[in-house]
Amino acid sequence: MAISGWFVQLWILLLIFVHAASTAPCAVAAEPCTWVHTVGEASLENVTAEEARQLATRRARARAIEEVAGVEVQSGTIVRDEVFAGEVLRILARGFVVKEQLERWEQDNLRRTPDSAPTTLYRVFLRTCVARARGDQDPYFRVDASLNKYTFAARESASIRVRCSQGCYLSILNLTGKDEFNLLLPTSRLPNLAQYPPRAGPEGDFVFPPPGVALEMAPLPGRQRDTEAFLVIAMKGPLNLPAIFRKEEGISFEEVSHLLLGLPPSEWADAWLVYEVRAK
C-alpha cells in the first residue's frame, strides 16, 4: 500500500517589504476577529510568476497576523543556495485567518540598479479577518517532530517521528501551495486515531507512516523543485478530523482555523516540518 497524491507545494519566501493599513472589528462564524488591510509584494527574480504571486499573498497574510496578534510571526526555515528558500508560518497558536478577501493585484517593473534589467513586481491587496487564540497554551504539553531527511529526490520515502511530552492523540496534515490542507492521519485508509505512546510495545517515538505503508515524495507535475511542509497536531484527547471535516483533501485554512479556535489552547500543541523535494 502506498500513499500518493499528497504532493504539496509551499512557496513561502518571506524576504520583501510588507505594508499594513487600517483595522476594524468584525465577527465571522461566531468567532470575533479583526479585519486588516495588508499589501504583499514579490518580484519575478529566480521564481515563476505563480511562485511570485503566492509569495506576495503569503507576505500579506503574515503581516495581517502580525498586526492582530501583536507579535512577530514565528517561522521554520530552509536555506538553499545561501538564500532563504522558504518559511512556514507557525501562526496557529497566536492568530487564525478566519476569512480573507482579495481586493486587487497590481504589477510594476522593478530595477535593482539603474543599469540592471527590469523585472516584474507583483503586489497584492488583501482584506483579512484574523482572530486571536483565547487563553494560553500548556507550557508542559509539547510535541516534537522530525523527518528522516529534509531534502528528497522524487520517489524517495519520508518518515515522520513524533514524541509528545505526555500522552497525546496525533493528526498529520499537509499544507499546499493553494493554502489548503490535505489530511494524512487519520484517514479512511489509516482510520485509527494515532496515540502516543503507542498502546503496544515500549514507549518510544511514534513513526508515520506505519510499516507496510510508503509516503512517497515527488514535486508537483511540471515542477523541478518544491518546498513543502507537514503539520503535526497533538491533542490531549481524541480529535476525529475525518468526521469533523468530512473530507481528506482541499481543507481550507479557514476550516482549520475555526476548528482550533473552538479548542482550549491548553489542550493542543503543534509542530511544523519543512522540507524540499526535487525531481530526479
> Please, what is the average pLDDT of the chain?
76
| Residue 5, pLDDT score | 32
Max Cα distance, the chain (Å): 67
Least confident of 91-95, 149-153, 248-252, 272-276: 91-95
Q: Is the pTM of this model over 0.75?
A: no
Q: What is the pLDDT of residue 125?
A: 98
Alpha-carbon distance of 198 to 202, in angstroms, equals 8
Phi-psi region of 246 (alpha: psi -120 to 50; beta: other; left: phi over 0): left
We find that the CATH architecture of domain 136-278 is: Sandwich (2.60)
Residue 178, all three cell numbers = 493553494
| Structure-block grid coordinates of residue 190 | 489509516
- pLDDT tens for 182-237 read 999 998 888 777 788 765 445 678 999 988 889 998 887 777 777 778 889 999 99
The number of CA neighbours under 13 Å toward the Cβ of 240 is 6
pLDDT for the residue 14: 28
Q: What does the pLDDT average to over 225-254?
A: 87
Share of the chain above pLDDT 90, in %: 29
For residue 88, pLDDT over 60 is answered with no
Specify whether the CB–CB gap between 110 and 120 falls below 8 A: yes
The pLDDT confidence band at residue 269, using thresholds 50, 70 and 90, is very high
**For residues 257-280, average pLDDT:** 85
* pLDDT above 60: residue 272: yes
Q: Where along the chain do its domains lie?
A: 19-132, 136-278
Contact 55/36 with Cβ under 8 angstroms? no
pLDDT reading at 35 higher than 60: yes
**What tens digit of pLDDT does each residue of 117-161 get?**
888 999 999 999 988 777 788 999 999 999 999 999 999 999 999
Examine the pLDDT at 76 and tell me if it is beyond 60: no
Does position 62 have pLDDT exceeding 60, yes or no? yes
What pLDDT, on the 0 to 100 scale, is given for residue 81?
29
In this predicted structure, what is the pLDDT of residue 31?
59
